[in-house]
């Protein structure tokens, strides 16, 4: 059995020291991190990007099958993804944790280890936060600050008629991973050491439990001298995000079913679950891929770009938002219904 | 009976629109607020300050006696206070809310109205956030971004031997307000329209339920050309904060019991509760007054300054941290034990 240190034995200041004493700062823009009333940053001639995410136990994550270190990693990465989606670079985060008595110091270490690993990989500094007792479940609130170059920040609102619609990676895998975990949940619920056989399904599980933000795509676009006209990250599903871009840009869109990138594991899982594959890819959510539009003149560059797929094009507003099926039939894209949470 | 609109009737995007559609931006540094993956800010030659606070139901607030509008107001103001404590100006906040089913749209409107009122009064823009369902209680996480002038930002670490120790306002009132509310809690618990008689106790209640941040003191110091050598806001009690300054500045301190500013209502309440008044003032917490040190040469200026009291002086590290009693006896200042939450 693993050690269990009660949080009360450290006290709250003790816990903060324990978690943060070895935090090293790596960004020039971080002048002062943890240890005062506020962190001090200097962005010089860069613009500042700010995004925040609140993750609540039982709503955004289920600790039955979510390792705490993965949870910490994902909590940080989903914020980085929002900054990349503005064509920016995440630089700092502040991390607030609400912790119920059920959690030990070792548990919190695991969450923090995941957050720190994500920060190391993506080059982000932890510069502050808050730790609190919680009467109920675990609560993780992270705000990420990033930098963007003047004139290079990409919003949702810049898509123009004839622009090409692109997505990075593939879609629907995180959603299928979630379905798989939920199905197996009763099997390993309460059995700490039981491990269901997930052989051959590693990819969809990793997409759900330990997603990555597409820093590489942002770097690649920069290297190729491609500046998207609009961009978002796909957290609520392609369909929902496309409608956001259309609305913010006052345009319509056509995307093509046979163009939507889907991994074979996602397809296999959809078949196993007897689910519509395209629906999963359109509405699944939590892909954290980038959806962006580029001018038609970037067509050749994009076609040559690895890891990016051209899935359709922007139209005039009056043509609406449609998915063109393999048979040529058109289906209007619909916004999803209520989901657990939505960033502003 | 008041109207009750279920949050599900609006949906989540609907709720966000409802809350934010009339948000107006007032700061030059806010280029883009709510509505994209991240807010865009431009701080030009100013430095950026970041602070965050997590407030959880049952830990930081008790809805039995806390009006939702006051709660929203306080949630914002405690963050502003941290920015002022760096000698900065709060400019933007992002607001995340975790909401259980028990709350109606009207309830959330009340919280948001309080946050917006605070923002209006202190000149702060709401530039983003997150809204989520919560399986349990109410959760409010606010991150505040502010600006500071290069070379004028004041940390905890700059206090020097012989510096004067000053506090704004008076201490212990918020703590006595909390004692009063807790005592009366059983009386109006569950009785919506019952109002206990708080006549003559308005000040301590207001200090607990609707504190203000000392923007005015920061302005006054600026006008008087006083740049503190160190500064903090008093959220955990004077004693605890003084020890933070001593530790960060590698100094000791002497403060004088008869110098500690206490309101007569606080004194009356302490007597009614048979509590030690000085203990309440030293350890009470939630005062949100400013504690700062100034060079000895600013003595005359500080003596003339309204709303600021000189309570002692900084010493060499080896002299330790002491309270000098009315009788001349010295008591070592001790850190408080575990409290519900602590900012980093």
pLDDT confidence bin for B336, thresholds 50/70/90: low
Q: Which residues of A touch B59 (CB under 8 A)?
A: 98, 132-135
- Count of domains for chain B: 2
By Cβ distance, the residue of B135, B146, B339 closest to A137 is B135
Instruction: Please answer yes or no on whether A135 and B135 come within 8 Å at the CB atom.
Output: no
Q: Do A73 and A183 fall within a single domain?
A: no
The per-residue pLDDT for A336 is 64
Q: What is the distance between the alpha carbons of residues B84 and B154, in angstroms, rounded to a whole number?
A: 9
The per-residue pLDDT for A2 is 63
> How confident is the model over B310-332, as pLDDT tens digits?
999 999 999 999 999 999 999 99
> How confident is the model over B13-56, as pLDDT tens digits?
788 888 988 888 999 999 999 989 999 999 999 999 999 999 99
Instruction: Please answer yes or no on whether A132 and B16 come within 8 Å at the CB atom.
Output: no
Instruction: Please answer yes or no on whether A148 and B40 come within 8 Å at the CB atom.
Output: yes
Q: Does B63 score more than 70 pLDDT? A: yes
Distance of CA A122 to the CA centre of its chain: 13
Q: Does B343 score more than 50 pLDDT? A: no
Q: What is the distance between the alpha carbons of residues B104 and B93, in angstroms, rounded to a whole number?
A: 23
Does residue A2 fall inside a structural domain?
Answer: no
Q: Does B261 score more than 70 pLDDT? A: yes
% of residues, chain A, pLDDT over 90: 81
Question: What residues are paired with A234 via a beta bridge?
Answer: A289
> How confident is the model over A183-201, as pLDDT tens digits?
888 666 656 666 677 888 9
β-strand pairing of A89-99 with B125-133:
unpaired
Instruction: Please answer yes or no on whether A37 and B82 come within 8 Å at the CB atom.
Output: yes
By Cβ distance, the residue of B59, B85, B128 closest to A132 is B59
The per-residue pLDDT for B190 is 59
Q: Which residue of A has its CA nearest to B47?
A: A42
Structural domain span for residue A279 = 156-332
Q: Which residues of A touch B134 (CB under 8 A)?
A: 56, 59
Long-range pairs for B180-189 at CB < 8 Å and ≥24 separation? B180/B204, B180/B205, B180/B269, B181/B62, B181/B65, B181/B205, B181/B208, B181/B209, B183/B273, B184/B65, B185/B62, B185/B64, B185/B65, B188/B64, B188/B65, B189/B64
The residue from A115, A148, A181 where one domain ends is A148
Does residue B46 fall inside a structural domain?
Answer: yes
Q: Which residues of B touch A335 (CB under 8 A)?
A: 13
By Cβ distance, the residue of A16, A54, A157 closest to B342 is A16
Q: Does A152 score more than 60 pLDDT? A: yes
Q: Looking at residue A66, what DSSP letter applies?
A: -
Q: Find the angle CA(A258)-CA(A261)-CA(A262) to the nearest 5 degrees.
A: 105
State how far residue A297 is from chain B, nearest Cα, in angstroms.
26
Cα→Cα distances B282→A85, B177, B235, B236, B262, Å: 48, 15, 11, 9, 10
CB-based burial of residue B5 (10 Å sphere; 0-12 exposed, 13-18 middle, 19+ buried)? middle
Instruction: Please answer yes or no on whether B37 and A133 come within 8 Å at the CB atom.
Output: no
Number of H helices, E strands in chain B: 11, 14
Q: What is the distance between the alpha carbons of residues B266 and B263, in angstroms, rounded to a whole number?
A: 5
Q: Do B164 and B194 fall within a single domain?
A: yes
Q: Do B53 and B188 fall within a single domain?
A: no
Answer for the pair B246, B229: CB distance below 8 angstroms, yes or no. no
To the nearest 10 degrees (0 to 180), the angle between helices A202-209 and A264-272 is: 100
State the ipTM, two decimals.
Answer: 0.92
Extended strands (E) in A111-225? 125-133, 139-148, 164-168
Q: Which residue of B has its CA nearest to A128?
A: B344
The residue from A106, A122, A148 where one domain ends is A148
CB-based burial of residue B91 (10 Å sphere; 0-12 exposed, 13-18 middle, 19+ buried)? buried
State how far residue B316 is from chain A, nearest Cα, in angstroms.
21
The pTM of this model reads 0.94
The per-residue pLDDT for A343 is 45
The per-residue pLDDT for B344 is 46
The per-residue pLDDT for B295 is 98
Q: Do B200 and B126 fall within a single domain?
A: no
Q: Report the pLDDT averaged over residues A309-337.
A: 92
Answer for the pair A312, A249: CB distance below 8 angstroms, yes or no. no
pLDDT confidence bin for B193, thresholds 50/70/90: low
The residue from A108, A128, A148 where one domain ends is A148
Q: Does A337 score more than 50 pLDDT? A: no
Does residue B339 fall inside a structural domain?
Answer: no
Residue A182: how many other CB atoms lie within 10 Å: 12
> How confident is the model over B85-98, as pLDDT tens digits?
999 999 999 999 99
Residues 6 or more apart in contact with residue B157 via CB below 8 angstroms? A36, B230, B248, B249
Q: What is the distance between the alpha carbons of residues A300 and A321, in angstroms, rounded to a whole number?
A: 25
Q: What is the distance between the alpha carbons of residues B277 and B266, in angstroms, rounded to a whole number?
A: 8
Instruction: Please answer yes or no on whether A43 and B43 come within 8 Å at the CB atom.
Output: yes
Q: Does B342 score more than 50 pLDDT? A: no
CATH code of the domain in which A104 resides: 3.30.1330.10
Residues 6 or more apart in contact with residue A286 via CB below 8 angstroms? A174, A175, A178, A207, A208, A211, A235
Q: Do A172 and A299 fall within a single domain?
A: yes
> How confident is the model over A200-232, as pLDDT tens digits?
899 999 999 999 999 999 999 999 999 999 999
Q: Do B30 and B106 fall within a single domain?
A: yes
CATH code of the domain in which B308 resides: 3.90.650.10
Instruction: Please answer yes or no on whether A344 and B16 come within 8 Å at the CB atom.
Output: yes
Q: Report the pLDDT averaged over residues A164-177.
A: 97
Cα→Cα distances B13→A342, B19, B39, Å: 7, 10, 17
């Amino acid at each position: 059995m693993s050690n269990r240190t009660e949080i009360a034995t450290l006290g709250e200041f003790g816990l903060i020291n324990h978690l943060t004493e070895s935090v090293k700062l790596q960004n020039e823009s971080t002048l002062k991190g943890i240890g005062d009333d506020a962190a001090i940053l200097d962005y010089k001639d860069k613009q500042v990007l700010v995004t925040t995410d609140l993750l609540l136990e039982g709503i955004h994550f289920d600790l039955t099958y979510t390792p705490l270190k993965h949870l910490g990693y994902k909590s940080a990465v989903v914020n980085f993804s929002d900054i990349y989606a503005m064509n920016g670079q995440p630089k700092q985060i502040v991390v607030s944790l609400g912790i119920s008595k059920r959690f030990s110091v070792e548990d919190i270490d695991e969450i923090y280890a995941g957050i720190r690993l994500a920060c190391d990989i993506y080059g982000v500094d932890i510069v502050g936060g808050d730790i609190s007792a919680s009467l109920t479940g675990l609560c993780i609130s992270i705000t990420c600050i990033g930098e963007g170059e003047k004139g290079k920040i990409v919003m949702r609102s810049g898509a123009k008629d004839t622009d090409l619609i692109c997505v990075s990676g593939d879609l629907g895998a995180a959603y299928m991973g979630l379905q798989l975990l939920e199905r197996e949940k009763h099997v390993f619920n309460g059995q700490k050491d039981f491990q269901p056989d997930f052989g051959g399904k590693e990819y969809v599980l990793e997409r759900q439990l330990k997603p990555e933000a597409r820093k590489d795509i942002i770097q690649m676009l920069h290297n190729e001298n491609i500046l998207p006209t609009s961009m978002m990250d796909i957290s609520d599903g392609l369909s929902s995000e496309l409608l956001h871009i259309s609305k913010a840009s006052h345009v319509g869109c056509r995307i093509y079913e046979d163009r939507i990138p889907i991994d074979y594991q996602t397809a296999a899982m959809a078949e196993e679950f007897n689910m519509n594959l395209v629906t999963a890819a359109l509405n699944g959510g939590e892909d954290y891929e980038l959806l962006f539009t580029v001018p038609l003149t970037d067509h050749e560059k994009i076609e040559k770009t690895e890891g990016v797929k051209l899935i359709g094009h922007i139209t005039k507003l009056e043509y609406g938002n449609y998915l063109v099926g393999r048979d040529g039939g058109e289906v209007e894209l619909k916004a999803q219904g209520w989901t657990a949470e939505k960033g502003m």
